[in-house]
Structure 1
Amino acid sequence: MQSTGKFLSMVVMLIVLLISASTTPVNAARQFKDVKPGHWAFESVNWAYDQGLTKGYPDGTFGPDKPITEAQLVTMLVRLDCSSPDSFPAEPGQHKASGNYWYLSGKNIPLDGQNRSFAKDWSIKRSSAAQIIAAYKGFDLDKKQAVYYMYTEDLATGRTGKNTWKDFSPDDSLTRAEAVDLLRNVSMNGSCEIVGLKKRASGKDNGKFPLPSSFDDDGTVHFPTNNKPSKPPVVSNPGASNEVDIDKSELIANGVDSTYVTVSFKDCNGNTIPYDRSLSVRVTSSAGAILEGDGEKYEQNSPNNHWYPYKTSIMTGTDGPDVTVKVTAPKSKTYLKDTLTFELVQGNGSSYINCANQNVTVNLDYVPKAEVRLEIVPERYTQNGTIIEREKVVATVAFPGGEVVRNFRGYVNLRSTSGIQLTTYSPSFAFGVATAYVIHSDSVDPIRGEIIAEVIPYNSLYPAELTGVINETHSVDITHDGFLRTDAICSNEIPEMAFIIDSSGSMKQNDPKKLRITKTQGFINNLQAERNIAVKFNSSSQHIITDQWYIVPPYLKQVGHSGGTNIGAGMNDAFNRMTPSANKAAILVTDGKSSESSIKSALDHAKRDGIVVYTIGLGKEKNLNSPLLKQIAKETGGTYYHITDSIELGLVYQSILKEITCGEKALTCSSASMLFENSSVTATSSQVVMETDLREGCGQIAKVVVRFNSNKGNIDYELVHRGHNNYRFIIGKDEIANYHLYTSAQFIAYDRDNKQVGAIKTVPIK
């Protein structure tokens, strides 16, 4: 009886706990007596309370209809930013939000109260809030474009749903309820970490959000409504749906500095052009930039072969909807503003371009600057009948406009990261140039690091224009792709091999060093299969060669970069050339999408003939059909690899080589981009934030370390596991003030035995 009583008591207590637990959310939701259930901002206000963004007023009210001051919004933004503490202290005698203003000013957020103290406590206009939020997310926009950005990203709507400039009531004060509702939308739309601007706000990103013609009047403009960021809609200009991606919009006007510009065309109805098509595009530079597509570098449209400052243009082709052009700034001693025009040309695929306007313009800036130019230059020479390939580090001192300072007297202090060795670390300048050579190890793993340089003059008698670059630190990235090796103790039967290599136009940007060629050559030389089939594909497939292993490698130099992407054609071409033997394997390398029907037909072919297919997706995830590439590998017994950088092709080929020769399943997390996601190291004036995600399925990870290289040796910081495969650590900058931080850091993962998992991921410090 006594035990039964105890049991009943426990049941009663459990019921009470469950009832109290079930009522907790309701009670928690009623924090403010002036925001009750049924209020339009009820959920957003209580979300803001739960997130610690606001505590309301001492009398228990929130004041939803009161105007919010700029200082109050600034404080909420700092609390929303997951990369910062909840608040930054103010100096004695200053406004209580001055510390938060100091933090956001470091991110170049446009704030009136930064320079006008009294403006901190003024109510903030709705259009100004839109501009601040856009900058918080990394876009430098004027107020109108910022409001349009709010609409297109589903962060806010107009008063009546017309979603025009006037409908936003841009000059009205933002209320406290509207503010927390806006911040809640921001938190649901991407990362909670502040992006900010690299420079003072000037509206340089306005071109990314061109305003519809009806935006300034009372006409209705319909915008897509979903929870994901969406691009501006097609309104009156058929070309408005075309998308532009620019690596960097400002170049040094030295004849060397370059960037890639990609334009994604859509047809007249806003649909994506098929990836297996290639359309002709004329690209023109109004400032005489050097243009390079999939054909010749540039056409000289000026008399006497003297092109500058006349226009330059090239004819190139799309890779499906995308056309990528490498743009190199001209030499100039004055500031130049360039307008690049991308024009679809009548020809094959003309049905896609019978719209009123299919021209796309992109603006670039060329700025004359004195510089210490660091370059990694490949060099090839013959020694005793043997071809020697090596790389040299070249440091050049140049005036604004690119002219070399040939009479400069001094030397350069060189340092390197990631174990990269140099023949000398203090070469002297001769005729404005200093040179050192790279000593590469015979490591199987790829090496990615930096060369750090500081120019030291022998005396102070150097041109005044060089004041900003002498005795300053400069850097350049350097990579080494490693070597392939076979294990002599493995004795699996060597299969017949097929190599299916993407030769589309986008490979110019995704594999600029053509490592898919050199790594395939190394793979063939190591495996030594009796029969090898090599095909390349762009808009169609082209057979390269079928022969023994020592014959094939030189022919792979035929692989280029032009046209669209027809993966299925390449697969079928290779599979049709394979013999009926029972042991067959193929490697597919691609950086794009293609017709699913043709790929699935090729997949059926592979399964029917017993061909094991290893698939490699190179580049950005959004440009790949990863589910289909995974399906090909899974259903044929192969493995799918995704890498973001071609430098990791060597690791992938090494894994496949080991699986084929030794029967050991390839490590899908062997490369850095397969293991680490969203990795970043961000330095503010007061702290350093280190964060990364790890992909699922990469085994038991015991710890993740971020390593900094310094003059006093390496320093490691172990990140804190925060759940959901996320690792993060924040440290005050003063705690590492004695160390010289390079411009990059390394993420390293370890298992329980303290053995490194996968490759090291190197990221720039922002």
Structure 2
Amino acid sequence: MNKVLLTSLLLATGLLASCDRTPAPTIPAATTGTVNGVRVVNTTTYQVGFTPLNGTDIVTNGKLDSAAVKSISAGTATARVCGQVQVQDTITAAISLDSTGSMDDNDPKALRRDAAKRFITRMSTQDRAAVLSFDGRTSPNANLGVSYLWQDFTSDKALLNKGVDNATFAAGGTPLYGAIVDGSNIVKASGGTNGSVLILTDGEDTNYVSSFQEAISTARTNGTKVYAIGLDAQNNLDFGELEDIAAATGGLFQKANDAAALDGFFDRMYNAFRAQGCVELVFTQKPAAGTDVTGTLNVVVSAPDRKSTTVEVPFAFTVR
């Protein structure tokens, strides 16, 4: 009887243990992701913003476990995680669009208009944005140095889209640094949280209303990050100082070689504003300055009750 009782107890214990065992998660923590831009740390070190995604949905509770360079077009580099995913529940963004004369050549179909509207479409009801344009010919608003404010801060997407329509034209030179100062100042004056300037330009500063250093100091003082998209359709521009402004203020830079790519660039900028982590690449063998480097990162993403997953994501930047 004792043997029978002991056997029964052991069997019951085993059945209970098997019932309590939690199945291993099968749903992946992420299915894809985006590299949202680059931040130049020094001549050998480059940081990129990375947002994990499940389909098109941002994985706000994702953790970046590790990163590695899978492929690279020039030189050799290592990668590591340099920051976990930081989520911004509310976005306050000044969208500043280049309205200089060269836009007629570099964006003749005004594709920047639809690209900016894509960013607006993804905004939540808690987010607020303003729309400005900048060029050397249009008279600025009384409280601004070089920019014209087409729509003040609002969550109303119809008003913001109308502002983008009004801001999409071409005239005059490029007061780029003054536009960054203006954007930062109106973000600060709005009193909104997580303030940023999202600026698109197709040229280097030619108006000299404000200096490179003034753009950095104003943005830092106001606590606004500068996220910049440089459109280099003719492949003849030096965006080094714009990259430095983005890096110095905690923002990111992206270079587009074709206006048709702007839609994706603005989309990735929204990802950067909403939730992203940081991956750092360090060259162990660095290609020549000016080399356009492309490649693929492997980023391991985990999340609660999800299966840890390796996400492959492309990256691109110009070596300094």
TM-score between both structures, scaled by the size of structure 2 = 0.55
The SS at the match of 1:576 is: helix
1:646 is matched with 259
Distance 1:665 1:658 in 2: 13
> Identity over the aligned pairs, expressed in percent?
24
Q: Equivalent residues in 2 for 1:653-732 (5 A)? A: 653-665=266-278, 695-696=292-293, 698-699=295-296
Distance of aligned partners of 1:488 and 1:568 in 2 relative to their CA distance in 1, 3 Å threshold: closer
1:562 is matched with 171
Tell me if structure 1 keeps the 8 A contact 2:58–2:271.
Answer: no
Instruction: Select the residue among 103, 107, 110 that pairs with 1:514.
Output: 110
Distance of aligned partners of 1:603 and 1:510 in 2 relative to their CA distance in 1, 3 Å threshold: same
Deviation at 1:486, TM superposition (A): 5.7
Instruction: Select the residue among 194, 217, 223 that pairs with 1:583.
Output: 194
Q: Which amino acid aligns with 2:151?
A: I
Distance of aligned partners of 1:754 and 1:593 in 2 relative to their CA distance in 1, 3 Å threshold: closer
Q: Which amino acid aligns with 1:508?
A: D
Deviation at 1:660, TM superposition (A): 1.8
Deviation at 1:608, TM superposition (A): 0.9
Q: CA RMSD in A?
A: 3.3
1:757 equivalenced with 2:306 (yes/no) = no
* Cα deviation code 1:478-519 (max 9, x no counterpart): xxxxxxx96255353222111111000100111122121111
1:545 is matched with 151
Q: Equivalent residues in 2 for 1:325-404 (5 A)? A: none
Tell me if structure 1 keeps the 8 A contact 2:97–2:133.
Answer: yes
Q: Which amino acid aligns with 1:487?
A: D
Distance 1:586 1:646 in 2: 20
* Cα deviation code 1:162-188 (max 9, x no counterpart): xxxxxxxxxxxxxxxxxxxxxxxxxxx
Distance 1:506 1:658 in 2: 29
The SS at the match of 1:570 is: helix
Distance of aligned partners of 1:622 and 1:697 in 2 relative to their CA distance in 1, 3 Å threshold: closer
Question: How many residues in Structure 1 have an aligned counterpart in Structure 2?
Answer: 202
1:118 is matched with none
Which of structures 1 and 2 has the bigger CA Rg?
1
Distance 2:258 2:279 in 1: 19
Q: Which amino acid aligns with 1:545?
A: Q
Distance 1:643 1:589 in 2: 10
Q: Which amino acid aligns with 2:101?
A: G
Distance of aligned partners of 1:508 and 1:621 in 2 relative to their CA distance in 1, 3 Å threshold: closer
Distance of aligned partners of 1:504 and 1:663 in 2 relative to their CA distance in 1, 3 Å threshold: same
Instruction: Select the residue among 513, 532, 556 that pairs with 2:129.
Output: 532
Tell me if structure 2 keeps the 8 A contact 1:580–1:609.
Answer: no
* Cα deviation code 1:346-400 (max 9, x no counterpart): xxxxxxxxxxxxxxxxxxxxxxxxxxxxxxxxxxxxxxxxxxxxxxxxxxxxxxx
Deviation at 1:757, TM superposition (A): 3.2
| Higher relative strand content | 2
Distance of aligned partners of 1:667 and 1:653 in 2 relative to their CA distance in 1, 3 Å threshold: farther
The SS at the match of 2:122 is: helix
The SS at the match of 1:577 is: helix
Q: Which amino acid aligns with 1:569?
A: G
Tell me if structure 2 keeps the 8 A contact 1:494–1:527.
Answer: no
The SS at the match of 1:664 is: strand
Distance 2:264 2:277 in 1: 15
* Cα deviation code 1:524-578 (max 9, x no counterpart): 1202353212110110421111132322112211120111111123222222222
Distance of aligned partners of 1:604 and 1:486 in 2 relative to their CA distance in 1, 3 Å threshold: farther
Deviation at 1:646, TM superposition (A): 1.0
Tell me if structure 2 keeps the 8 A contact 1:504–1:538.
Answer: yes
Deviation at 1:600, TM superposition (A): 2.6
Distance of aligned partners of 1:489 and 1:588 in 2 relative to their CA distance in 1, 3 Å threshold: same
Q: Which amino acid aligns with 2:202?
A: D
Distance of aligned partners of 1:662 and 1:507 in 2 relative to their CA distance in 1, 3 Å threshold: same
TM-score between both structures, scaled by the size of structure 1 = 0.24
Tell me if structure 2 keeps the 8 A contact 1:592–1:623.
Answer: no
Tell me if structure 2 keeps the 8 A contact 1:615–1:633.
Answer: yes
1:574 is matched with 183
* Cα deviation code 1:9-42 (max 9, x no counterpart): xxxxxxxxxxxxxxxxxxxxxxxxxxxxxxxxxx
1:89 is matched with none
2:93 is matched with 497
Tell me if structure 2 keeps the 8 A contact 1:617–1:642.
Answer: yes
Distance 1:696 1:486 in 2: 26
The SS at the match of 1:513 is: coil
The SS at the match of 2:89 is: coil
The SS at the match of 1:504 is: coil
Tell me if structure 2 keeps the 8 A contact 1:613–1:638.
Answer: yes
Deviation at 1:624, TM superposition (A): 3.1
